[in-house]
Amino acid sequence: MAHVVSGKLRKAPFIKPGLGQDGQSTMYAIELSEMVKDYKSDEKYYTNYKAMFFAKTQGANDFYSKAFAEGSFVSVACEKLKTDIFNADNGQTYVTMIMENARLEGCMPAIEMGGGQQQQGGWGQPQQPQQQQAPQQQYNEPPKDFDNDIPF
C-alpha cells in the first residue's frame, strides 16, 4: 500500500552535498505536514512527514533545487513509513513519519505558482510545446435568425 502526502513546502529543504560512496550525491530532505481538525472539539492534530531524495547528476540537482524551493507544492509517495519520536526540552513530544524510499510524484515549483505567467502541465512532467490556435473572427452583428422583438 502506498502512502501519498501532498502539500506546500513551508521551508527550504535541508541540503547535504558530498554523500554516497563516490561523494557525488546530494541529499535533499523535505518536510510536510497534514492537519486534521476534530469538528466536535475544534482541536487540530498534525502529522509531520520527512522525505529524502538523492541527486547524483547536475541535472537532478537543478531539478530538485527548483522543485523543493520554499513555497512549492509537492506530492510524495512511499511504500513504508517509519516513526521518529523526539522529546523536546520543554516536555513536548514530536512525532515525525519518515517516508522510506520516497518518490516525487509531482511538483509545482514556487517559481511557477508565483506571479508571472504560469505554465500548464507543471507537476514535474516534461513540458509539451503549446500550439497556438488561429484567432477566431469576431462578428459584431447578430445572427440572421436573431429575434430582436424580446419584450424587456
Whether the per-residue pLDDT at 130 is higher than 50: the answer is no
Whether the per-residue pLDDT at 143 is higher than 70: the answer is no
In this predicted model, what pLDDT tens digit does every residue of 79-118 receive, in sequence order? 999 998 888 888 877 888 999 999 999 888 877 655 434 4
Of 43, 63, 50, give the one whose Cα is nearest residue 10. Answer: 50
Of 107, 118, 18, give the one whose Cα is nearest residue 64. Answer: 107
Instruction: List, in order of start, the domains of the chain with CATH numbers.
Output: 3-113 (2.40.50)
Could you give the CA distance from residue 121 to residue 73 in angstroms, rounded to a whole number? 13
Whether the pTM exceeds 0.85: the reply is no
